[in-house]
Amino acid sequence: MSETPRLALDRLARRYDTGGGVDDVSLEVAPGELLALVGASGSGKTTTLRLVAGYEKPDSGRLRLNGTSIEKLPAEKRGFGMVFQHYALFPHLSVVQNVAFGLEARGVKKAERLRQAEAALSGVGLADKAGRPVQALSGGEQQRVALARALVISPPVLLLDEPLSNLDPTLRRSTRDELRAMLRRQGVTALFVTHDQEDAFAVADRVAFLHNGRLLQVGAPESLYDAPASRAVADFIGHASLMPAEFDGTHATLMRANQSVTVRAVAPAGLKGAALAVLRPEALCLNRAGANAPEGWHGRVLTRRFLGGTSAYHVNLADGFELEVLSDDRTFNDGDAVVVSVARTPVPLVAG
């Protein structure tokens, strides 16, 4: 990054006697950037967040805020805002009192902290709910109260730990859109931890993928999806079928069901020869078997799953290999003979 990062993790490591933790994690978060940490359970996401927050001390490595080392500072001296999975709101306090709590702990006088708390509530669209009991609010509104409480102290960095996981799917979608808009509007630098890649894609400018305590890839959501750097990234990000391929540097040849298909492909630097093609369901096309079918692999539909505007077909190729294909054609039925072809290139490749 050309500018000094707001937050920089430099080879942070923390390992536990019982296993787990993180090794050699280096990340930079620019001012105003929203960066999501994603990965499966046990990947090191929470450990990384706790190291940044100051709840854990690293075994090695540096942590810098605006260029200044802070890894030895206690959590309360870092001034970071925190939004927890369960919000941690006080049920006996009103909405505005919950938001003002952090200011009270910082010695701000009552009139001023209430003014600032009301302004923070206005910023998250809850100005009319200031006097209500916090338990009278919906889950999405409580999430916004927690966000206002974290933002009212004007933190240099906002840390969010699975803040959407307690919401139902419909509310989750609308709330994450609101969350991104609010953080964008206020220019907040944020580190967002989630196991849900849809949440990460919807909120973050960039995504960092952790696997077994190691940082495997960092980039825009599109780059992790369209050009995964490894099999672990391809397995976790999105849905894909991984098919053996032979790569010559520009094209990959995929052989299944006695049918060879050659397509344009893109691979991580240095990869050539044996590889795995990452076949996304929406990058494949389903056709009825017959003389006019395009080049592809023959098989039969196992199941169809209705998704609204599209259907997801599970196809068993003639040699037993299985593919998932998205199609807006709803007329295929279980058992239909079909040909699966590649509809979108270049096809991403990863090492096997």
Q: How many domains does the chain have?
A: 2
Helix (H) or strand (E) holding 81: strand 81-83
> pLDDT grade, residue 176 (50/70/90)?
confident
Full domain range(s) for residue 212: 7-226
67 and 207 housed in the same domain: yes
> pLDDT grade, residue 300 (50/70/90)?
very high
221 and 267 housed in the same domain: no
Phi, psi (degrees; rounded to nearest 5) at 243: -110, 130
Copy the structure tokens of residue 19.
């296993």
Number of CB atoms found within 10 A of residue 294's CB: 12
218 and 295 housed in the same domain: no
Phi, psi (degrees; rounded to nearest 5) at 299: -170, -165
Cα 325 to Cα 342: distance, rounded to the nearest angstrom: 10
Token pair 């894909």 in the structure block, residue: 240
Q: How far is CA 230 from CA 29, 254, 256, in A?
A: 23, 18, 22
Q: How far is CA 273 from CA 265, 270, 351, in A?
A: 12, 10, 9
49 and 132 housed in the same domain: yes
Average pLDDT (168-183) is: 79
Copy the structure tokens of residue 340.
């699966």
pLDDT at residue number 5? 81
186 and 274 housed in the same domain: no
In a domain, 13, yes or no: yes
272 and 215 housed in the same domain: no
**Which tens digits make up the pLDDT trace of 135-169?**
898 888 888 888 888 888 889 999 999 877 777 77
Phi, psi (degrees; rounded to nearest 5) at 119: -65, -40
Cα 97 to Cα 322: distance, rounded to the nearest angstrom: 56
pLDDT at residue number 281? 97
Q: Which among 193, 226, 259 is the end of a domain?
A: 226
**Which tens digits make up the pLDDT trace of 219-243?**
999 999 999 999 999 999 999 999 9
> pLDDT grade, residue 3 (50/70/90)?
low
188 and 298 housed in the same domain: no
What does pTM read for this prediction? Answer: 0.88
CATH code where residue 325 lies: 2.40.50.140
What does the mean pLDDT of the chain come to? 91
User: Is the pLDDT score of 130 beyond 70?
Assistant: yes
33 and 70 housed in the same domain: yes
pLDDT at residue number 1? 46
Give the single-character DSSP code of 51. Answer: H
Average pLDDT (330-338) is: 95
Cα 246 to Cα 328: distance, rounded to the nearest angstrom: 31
282 and 173 housed in the same domain: no
Q: How far is CA 201 from CA 34, 180, 208, 268, in A?
A: 11, 11, 11, 22
Burial class (CB in 10 A: 0-12, 13-18, 19+), 160: buried
Average pLDDT (312-333) is: 95
Contact 221, 200 (CB under 8 A): yes
Q: Which among 226, 258, 275 is the end of a domain?
A: 226
User: Is the pLDDT score of 2 beyond 70?
Assistant: no
In a domain, 101, yes or no: yes
